[in-house]
Amino acid sequence: MDFEYFFELFLGGLTRGSIYALLALGYTMVYGIIQLINFAHGEIYMIGAFTALIVAGVLTLMGWNQVAILVIASIAAVVYSSAYGFTAEKIAYKPLRNAPRLSALISAIGVSLFLQNYVLLAQTSDFLPFPNLIPEFEFLKPVEHIVRSSEIVIYLTTAIVMVALTILIKFTRIGKAMRATAQDQQMAMLVGVDVDRVISVTFIIGSATAALGGVLIASHIGQINFYIGFIAGIKAFVAAVLGGIGSMPGAVLGSLVLGWTESFFTGYISSDYEDVFAFIFLVLILIFRPSGILGRKDTDKV
Amino acid sequence: MVKNHFGKLLILLVAAAFLAAAAGPAMAADTIKLGVAGPHSGDLASYGIPTVKAAELVVKNINAKGGVLGKKVELIVEDDVCKPEVATNTATKLVGAGVNVVLGHICSGATKAALGIYKDSHIVVMSPSATNPALTQSGNYPNFFRTIASDDAQAKLEVEFALNVLKVKRIAVLHDKGDYGKGLAEFAKGFLEKDPRAKVVLYEGITPGAVDYSAVVQKIKRKKAEAVIFGGYHPEASKIVTQMRKKKMKAYFISDDGVKDDTFIKVAKKYAEGVYATGPKDVSKNPLTIKARAEHVKAYGSDPGAFFENAYAAALALLNAIEKAGSTDYDAIVKALRTEYVDTPLGKIKFDEKGDAIGVGFAMYQVRNGKYVEVK
């Protein structure tokens, strides 16, 4: 077996997986807290990318240096996307919190379509070039044909975000409140947890990771349009389910497994059936582990 | 009773006049009849109406100059709504009306359905838009001509360019699994397999909209392809090219009209340099095109629609062939179409043995300094 080829496919899968993971984390957090599949999550990611594009465009005109642009554009994207996530929750999900779960799901699909069309009308339906915001590291020059600096940055960001979120949930006050809300909303409320605030924070954090993903992925790929959120969102959702929705490490593991599956299948067999194979794999895993690779068995609360 | 007789005489005269009029067409032709068939109502009307308008403009010009063979040209327009089952009726109606030549049909399916009927009646048909390769290449319809390149013309040009100009041997053929891209890739693969100089090292469909194509790009590298022929559109093409170039791969990238779009250059930026793409020949600077478009704006108050130049060229070619043939005889018209050049908005054209217009269609372009430039 050709080891170099295997290694390249491995890295390609790792990139894809990390990209999915940045989105899957947001899905899984929101699901963990309020059992809502937030279909608008992909759109939040898309809005993050658009915000970064606009901010970066302005700053480039003003002649700022690349690292400063990356940092400021990322912050702008995070703030803007978080605002959208926060608002979407207040407008579209909060009023439906006690309605059947399906209503909130339909509402999420509505938000997704609304945001897509809003960007389509407010911006453009064309593909836009996205500047390469991530600087090329000197020390990577010799291995540039195997791994690029934007890929390294994506791996690192995903790892950092995952660790930070785990610490946040395990060891902080708000994390404790989150876990309480996830376990039993009513009980949490009774012991004094501000459930509304916890849910808002969850949406803000989820949107922020999606926005970071948007900036990194767009500058890795180099183009965006209003529709990128849809496919990425669906894939990330699948990854979250694969890993066990509601579980943080599960979301990352599921994303990596999905990324590697796609990469190796394309590399060794054929890219024609890339998605088919990815989904067959999903079905197989769900048959043997219905709650995902790292999912907890969840007995329904009646 | 003089008055009474006069009344009878009047009736007789009127009757005679009617008879004469009715007998007119049967008594061969004081006009040349040009049939125009295509969708003029329904969903696809926008593909058919511009052809009717082109025919009207051409006929008006020619009649103003004395017509064809000294006779006025008359238009007979029939609607086929692009449906094969309607098109046979349309053809029968046109044949019944005694048309000499037909401009149409528009859709490939409808054209194919109607062609047999015209063939049996020895009527030349010329489509401005039917691109199905089999219509001319099968050889079943010697009465069929067209002023548009067939669907496989781009693939053929890409393959010939790769083998003759770039002189590459190992070629990877990719497509985006869509009708357009996959169709093109299949044609390209077919042409490559027939040519002993070439080897198709990879033939694969990619998933449009995927976040990246690094696995496919690795595969191209591993198969040591010297050129990639891609059937599809610019968003995927720019991702693939960018990833190839970032991995320091130098293989040629050859694609189609879906990539010959300025957005491709805008998105892929410096990585777009050197990419080849086929695209329709630029006819916008042809004085006849400018004139035809101006006529349309003057007559109808708007810019012309789909296939207008092709239809304008087809109408000119048909009427010119009748003039050159000196009669409306089928064989004479066919011979004139194949031998006599005619000046049209698409350039100076004549037709090959199979019925495709020579010199119409696609050219190869390359991105040079951020612009698509025609490769001579």
Range of the domain at A208: 11-241
The string of pLDDT tens digits covering residues A16-50 is: 999 899 999 999 999 888 888 899 999 999 999 99
The string of pLDDT tens digits covering residues A157-176 is: 999 999 999 899 999 999 99
For residue A133, is it within any domain? yes
Q: Name the residue among A5, A144, A221 with its Cβ closest to that of B212.
A: A221
pLDDT for the residue numbered B26: 41
Size of interface A-B (CB pairs under 8 A): 85
A272 inside 8 A of chain B by CB: yes
For residue A15, is it within any domain? yes
The residues of B whose Cβ lies within 8 A of any Cβ of A are: 177, 204-207, 209-212, 214-216, 218-219, 222, 234-235, 238-239, 242, 246-248, 263, 266-269
Q: Mean pLDDT, to the nearest integer, of B60-83?
A: 93
**CA B178/CA B181 separation, integer angstroms:** 5
For residue A247, is it within any domain? no
Residue entry with tokens 């090959």: B352
Counted domains in chain A: 1
The string of pLDDT tens digits covering residues B238-284 is: 999 998 998 889 999 999 988 988 889 988 888 999 999 998 888 88
pLDDT for the residue numbered A126: 82
For residue A231, is it within any domain? yes
Q: Mean pLDDT, to the nearest integer, of B110-133?
A: 93
Tokens of A207: 């949107």
A271 inside 8 A of chain B by CB: yes
Residue B67, phi-psi category: left (phi > 0), alpha (psi -120 to 50), beta (remainder): left
For residue A164, is it within any domain? yes
Task: Spell out the residues 6+ positions from residue B62 whose beta carbon is closer than 8 angstroms to its own.
Answer: B68, B73, B319
Confidence of residue B24 (pLDDT cuts 50, 70, 90): very low
Please say if the pLDDT value at position A190 is more than 90. yes
Q: What is the mean pLDDT of chain B?
A: 89
A219 inside 8 A of chain B by CB: no
Round the CA-based radius of gyration of chain B to a whole number and report it: 25
Residue entry with tokens 């049209």: B344
Q: What is the mean pLDDT of chain A?
A: 89
Asked if A13 and A256 touch (Cβ cutoff 8 Å), the reply is yes
For residue A16, is it within any domain? yes
Q: Which domains does chain B show, CATH number per domain?
A: 28-148+285-349 (3.40.50.2300), 153-274 (3.40.50.2300)
For residue A5, is it within any domain? no
For residue A279, is it within any domain? no
**Residue of B177, B212, B233, B248 to mutate, testing the A interface (most A Cβ within 10 Å of its Cβ):** B212
Please say if the pLDDT value at position B205 is more than 50. yes
Residues in chain B: 376
Task: Spell out the residues 6+ positions from residue B13 whose beta carbon is closer than 8 angstroms to its own.
Answer: none
- Rounded to a whole number of angstroms, the distance from the CA of A191 to the nearest CA of chain B is 44
pLDDT for the residue numbered B16: 54
**CA B74/CA B33 separation, integer angstroms:** 5
Residue entry with tokens 């070629």: B171
Confidence of residue A248 (pLDDT cuts 50, 70, 90): confident
A278 vs B148, higher pLDDT:
B148
